[in-house]
Chain A
């Protein structure tokens, strides 16, 4: 069912900007407002957010993670640290990681 829903109605996760829009929605932003916010932060159009070709370019240039891994590419917590900075939000696991490094 997860696959059906994601294909039929989902944003597409890290294949597109799904995770980024989801972070804003989970913080309480309505969907359209969240899309506009993320598009503005990424410097693209709202329609680009669900375009996997466009978002692959954007995600690779910002180094915030893509579905296919690449050598030296940011992954996991490293990608999230960049996402937090780009979206100007606090991500709990990033704050925890920084605290562990003595940088909080």
Chain B
């Protein structure tokens, strides 16, 4: 039962259930869109999009789907973590890939390691390459390899460089800038090293996940690594998923091919990814756990439509936990998940997820 009296069943950003009137839902759709327009300088949704989104959110069905013909492609960041680690199933990664291919019917999958950072993978990349070769012999669907730049791992005590998050509050600005530049350069080299080995192991593609998680220096490392790898391995499909709807300017002065990275929102992030040689772009809009699904989804879809409008490469919306409008909870309710998927493809015109 999705409707009780004049109230519709829906969710808050933390996944909890709530009941809202159609007018309240429409109001939150408008407010969410306005947030994207105001902060991200996006184009607003048109009246038809708004009504379509309200219809999706108030649909009578528990779970919804796209209309026939509107299907997109699905990719799965950190795919082999889900069954084998998060769900605790006693299967190895190649078996998990096969389950996704045969039983879940995933369009693509991603081989990854539990320690999902490129820096950590340096020590075990040869074994990861062996797993990739094995996976490629057994699987039909595209199998990518993925990890995160995760620049924070390069700071002391885990890494060799000073921690700029500690330097900045102490007013050591020049030292903080230098530390980020050094870490970014090393991270780039590490990602080229790992990416090259995985490409030569037959990976269909390489995924850079949460680009910009540690700020603009983190993003720069990923874009520069992608630029090198895309030229070195033209058959390697590179996909870049962001960490946030804007790059945080922890450094503030870093540029990629002449464009400042700090403060870039998705419409500019996608152009940077294109310039770096990426074949597809993973747009990220973070969920506000205090707001409604209507607010979060509207905000996210507004960014999607604006990004797709300018993108020269496919846009695959990150619609995992806490992003894309999906509630910030480990097990997202399917009523919310399916509404997010439908909205991004039919209103946002995304190429997939």
Contact = CB atoms under 8 A, between A and B. Distances in A.
Interface of A: 1-16, 18-19, 21-23, 25-31, 34, 46-47, 50, 64-65, 67-69, 75-77, 79-80, 83, 90-93, 95-97
B341 A8 contact: yes
Given A2-B100, A6-B74, A8-B342, A65 B320 contact: no
A92 B68 CA distance: 32
Contact of B138 (A15, A25, A76, A95): A76
Contacts of B338: 4-5, 7-9
Contacts of B138: 75-77
B126 interface: no
21 contacts: A2-B76, A2-B100, A2-B104, A8-B337, A9-B70, A9-B338, A10-B74, A11-B107, A14-B141, A18-B107, A26-B204, A27-B237, A29-B314, A31-B351, A47-B68, A50-B69, A92-B202, A92-B203, A92-B204, A93-B203, A96-B136
Interface of B: 63-66, 68-76, 79, 82, 100-108, 133, 136-144, 199-205, 233, 235-237, 239, 279-280, 313-314, 316, 319-321, 326, 331-332, 334, 337-338, 341-342, 344-345, 351-353
A13 B237 CA distance: 18
A77 B132 CA distance: 12
Contacts of A76: 136-140
Nearest to B279: A28
B279 A92 contact: no
Dominant SS among interface residues on chain B: loop
B351 A15 contact: no
B76 A64 contact: no
B107 A12 contact: yes
Contact of B73 (A25, A67, A83): A25
A12 B105 contact: yes
A76 to B, nearest CB: 5
Most A CB atoms within 10 A — which of B64, B100, B141, B345? B141
A75 B342 contact: no
